[in-house]
Chains A and B, each alone.
Chain A
Amino acid sequence: MALLEIKNIEKYYGNKSSLTKAIDDISFSVEAGEFVAIMGASGSGKTTLLNCVSTIDRVTAGHILLDGTDVTKLKGKALGQFRRDKLGFIFQDFNLLDTLTAYENIALALSVQRRPVRQIDEAVNTIARQLGITDVLQKYPYQMSGGQKQRVASARAVVTEPKLVLADEPTGALDSKSARLLLDRFHYLNREHGATILMVTHDSFTASCASRVLFIKDGKIFNEISRGDDSRKRFFDKIIDVVSLLGGDVSDAL
């Protein structure tokens, strides 16, 4: 059985007189250990999709099953617990707590799960080593570069070993060098850690890191391509082809 199964979900905004279908009957599934990218132009509904999967938003119709749990039926306290224990989040604007050090930011994800201190310390140091942020652990967000911040945020997302890591435009606020470094780490987490990642992006290069790319246009799945045994360059070219087909302009593609 797939780790994540999305069945015929729909999401409408607005009222009777002006109805916007942000998501119009989307179905797909993600296997454990997969790295899936969702691409689409601004307003195509990709972020809405991610918000629905992450239970931040509610779907209008359809079901989302993660590890056998129907997340559309979760309520109140169970919702929080689900997010805390099963999901990891990475956002475009990092979303680190500016009052806490990097160490404390990563530890927070574990401490809200009421893990013992010894375990927290071990887990934080291990993940920091793997993501190359050991030397910034005692710094505050304002003392770090964007790339460092995003890696700290990634560490926080994966330190709890969630079933699914959701990334919303993770490279959106980074320069190209930092973006490449971050994607490297994503690749590492996916391959070595076996982390399942669902990433939303409009950047073709970022998407070319994934093992599979879904294209969304006007709330519907437009196309889907898998990397298979292709090299990254070739996969990138394929993505560009689809993007031009989608009608996205050059600035969107690059």
Chain B
Amino acid sequence: MLFKISLSNIRRSFRDYTIYFFTLVIGISVFYVFNAIGTQAAYMTVTKSRSDIIALLKDLLSGVSVFVSIVLGLLIVYASRFLMKRRKREFAIYLTLGMSKGTISLLLLLETLLIGMGSLAAGLIAGVGLSQLMSALVANLFEADMSAYRFTLSGEAVVKTILCFGITYLVVMLFNSFTVGKFKLIDLIQSDKKAERLYLKNPVLCGAIFLAACAALGYAYRTVSNGAAYLQPTEFMVTVGVGAVATFLIFWSAAGLLLRLAMAMKPMYFRGLNAFTFRQISSKISTTVVSMTVICLMLFVTICTLSAAFSIRNSMNDNIRSFCPADFELEYAGEHSEEISGEPSGETENGKWLYTDVVKKCDAYDYDITQYFSEYVHFHTYTDSSFTLEKSLGDSFKQIENQYSFIRYDTPEDIVRLSDYNALMQLYGRESLTLENDEFIVVCNFQSMRDIRDATLAKGTAMEILGHTLRSKYDECLDGFIDLTSQPLNAGIFIVPDRIADESYADTDLLIGKYAAQTDEEYAVIEARILKDFDNMRATWAKENDGRRITVSYRLDTKTNIVEATVGLGAIVTFLGLYIGLVFLIACGAILALKELSESVNSLPRYLMLRKIGVEEHDISCSLFVQIGIFFLLPLLLACLHSVFGMKFGMYMLEMFGTSKLTESVLITSLMILLIYGGYFLITYLSSKTIIKGNDSD
């Protein structure tokens, strides 16, 4: 019997449950899709380093899932509480008929169970379907071979999803029983007779608070966009707090202010249904200030996360092309040897690695390490232990140290001969430089280091480098780099005239080259061979050590490795961004939709009345469209404004990844918001339209 009632209840209040159910299904399927990525990737043929990245991605997604399930859980509790409120009259009827509160609790329990199982089933089916599409994206991002791919069902993800949502539903059930226990019959019966009190807020107070909120926002915007580099964590938190409070106050005052403004424009206000429309909007906003604020801030986070994620991914792929123009780099920092009996110290007497020419060393073992290259440059850098970052900053050092306490100022600067640098630039296909005898140039592409160095270079102070006094040719750093990287991370290299480079200052040996490969197969063969040869060579050196312990310090990077790391990082960032962004968008859309739908049900008598006095259907639809449109648009607009300044700060943080394709990222983000948020808007509008049609028999 109870089961029958619950089932028919659900069927009857279907229009209320549509959005709830819809949200649950999307939430569950998104949860499944992202948790299933790990399992799916296992079926793809990927390289070792990529499968490591996939494992990392899986761990990260599991971690984020905890957060996501909390967000979704709160959303579900909120939504079910909301639906409960709407059914007070129904409960009143049950109670007057003599049903006990326990039975009502049981009824609700059954309903939650039915909805829960239904949505879990639907969500999982949708999730499994969507995850097959997701596989294509995963394969694309990891450049995996899809030929071995088959339809997958991730048992692990299914269990996780069921567990996660099962717990949430349990909480909802407990919560519902608790609420039922607190019911008083008189409140239930009179629930829809409660007179709605509407106050016009004092316009002067509204105006003052609005201006104050705008000023506070302006302050927050200025702080994050101008002084991003100097912002302390506490200051940052304060700014975020100010922004949040200002957002709340703006929504609080906007309701009254908007109405006042409209009322002042009499010809517009008393035209058609405008007076009604504005009153509706104003009352809606003033009763949902808190939700509007939360939604606005969530949208803000969503926009920033999505744009940042897409931007990182896009510029990374771009960066590879510009910052990794060769195939192979061996950086041989040096080696040192000692008696095996001696205490291992790891460093030589003068505290640095002994410079070793790695090509010569290989030659000594009858191995030509350069044989695979079509082109290569072999050179070394110089360092002068007395020429450190502190020295190169000169007078500005004290001031800069105060701002950036985390930089190590006692590291010796890297110095490269002009002819070596130009040879490398020729290999890279970049422009070469020229220098007079007493000049030097700093090349740097890490933006914040560039700013620091430019301040010093602008003063044109002479510097003591390798025992010579030189002046900077330019009053700023030039764009450039030596190491193969995926990002602009060169913190600064000094290019000096060849004549002053004394071999006693030699520091790190560098071998950078392009493989002599025509096809992808040849490329792979060469790379495998050179890596294997170098490993063998090191093993040989370790054996033939004349009874001494040899410690070597080297770094070997190939374009393949760099690309893989980048692709992996890009994929991780994309997935995390998508995951959080999607869930937040769903939550925002669902809250707004539920609020709006209940608002429509409450306003039904108003619309019926309008219809009775002969207002045309078209006018009513227009009014409804404007009401819902503004309700959805207002938090989005403010969130967009927040994001413009938030992203300015974000750009600073993202600098090392590059921000080249920001416009494109913003476009993709907008498209996603339009799709999901817009989808919620459309569904809300259409369902509201059906609701306010009502039935004359009601």
Residue in B198, B267, B274 whose CB lies within 8 Å of A140: B198
* Distance between B617 CB and nearest chain A CB, rounded to angstroms: 7
The 8 A CB mask of A109-129 against B (1 = contact, 0 = none) is 111101011001000000000
- Give the chain B neighbours of A142 by CB distance below 8 A: 195-198
Task: Tell me, yes or no, whether A99 is within 8 Å of chain B by CB.
Answer: yes
Q: Contact between A87 and B614 (Cβ–Cβ < 8 Å)?
A: yes
Most chain B beta-carbon contacts within 10 A, residue among A89, A107, A117:
A117
A82 near B276 (CB under 8 angstroms)? no
Asked if B696 contacts A104 (CB within 8 A), the reply is no
Contacts of A225 in B (CB 8 A): none
Question: Which residue on A lies nearest to B617, using beta carbons?
Answer: A80
Assess whether B81 is interfacial by the CB under 8 Å rule.
no
Contact of A89 among B196, B197, B274, B613 (CB under 8 A): B613
Contact size range, B: 20 to 34
Binary flags per residue of A154-179, CB closer than 8 Å to B gives 1, else 0: 00100000000000000000000000
What's the least CB distance linking B19 to chain A, in Å? 24
Taking a contact as CB atoms under 8 Å apart, the answer to whether A83 and B276 are in contact is no
CA distance A204 to B114 in the complex (A): 54
- In the complex, the chain B residue whose C-beta lies closest to that of A79 is B614
Chain A, 75-118, CB within 8 A of any chain B CB: 76-77, 80-85, 87, 89, 91, 95, 97-100, 104, 107-112, 114, 116-117
- From A83, A98, A107, A114, B613 is in contact (CB under 8 Å) with A83
Give the nearest-CB partner of B611 in chain A.
A80
User: Which one of A81, A100, A120, A156 has the highest number of Cβ atoms from chain B below 10 Å of its Cβ?
Assistant: A100
The reply to whether A99 and B280 form a contact with Cβ atoms under 8 Å apart is yes
Tally of A-B residue pairs with Cβ under 8 A? Answer: 86
By beta carbon, the residue of chain A nearest B283 is A99
Q: Are A85 and B275 in contact (CB under 8 A)?
A: no
Instruction: Let me know if B276 and A108 touch, CB within 8 A.
Output: yes
Beta-carbon contacts under 8 Å, B603-654 to A: 605-606, 609-619
Specify which chain B residues have a CB less than 8 angstroms from the CB of A85 in the assembled complex: 614
Q: Which residues of A contact B4 (CB under 8 A)?
A: none
**Nearest neighbor of A156 in chain B, beta-carbon distance:** B613
Interface of chain B residues 195 through 225 with chain A (CB within 8 A): 195-198
Number of interface residues of A (CB under 8 A): 33
- Interface of chain A: mostly helix, strand, loop or mixed: helix
The contact string, 1 if C-beta is below 8 Å from chain A, for chain B 235-259, is 0000000000000000000000000
How many whole Å from A56's CB to the nearest CB in chain B?
A: 6
Other-chain residue from B266, B279, B619 in contact with A100 (beta carbon distance below 8 A):
B279
Q: CB < 8 Å: which of A77, A87, A110, A112 contacts B273?
A: A112
Let me know if A112 and B279 touch, CB within 8 A: no
- Chain B residue, CB-CB nearest to A162: B614
A117-B270, A142-B196 are known contacts. Are A99 and B612 too (CB-CB below 8 A)? no
* CB < 8 Å neighbour of B696 from A56, A77, A82, A108: A56
B48 lies within 8 A of chain A by Cβ: no
With A57-B696, A107-B270, A117-B267 as given contacts, are A80 and B614 in contact (CB-CB < 8 Å)?
yes
Q: Which 8 A-B pairs have the closest CB atoms?
A: A84-B614, A83-B614, A99-B279, A80-B616, A95-B609, A111-B270, A142-B195, A117-B267
- Residues on B close to A: CB < 8 A? 195-198, 266-267, 270-276, 279-280, 283, 605-606, 609-619, 696
Q: What are 15 A-B pairs at a CB distance below 8 A?
A: A76-B617, A83-B614, A95-B605, A95-B609, A99-B280, A100-B279, A104-B275, A107-B275, A108-B275, A108-B276, A111-B272, A112-B273, A117-B267, A142-B195, A156-B613
Which residues of A pack against B, CB within 8 Å?
Answer: 54, 56-57, 76-77, 80-85, 87, 89, 91, 95, 97-100, 104, 107-112, 114, 116-117, 120, 140, 142, 156
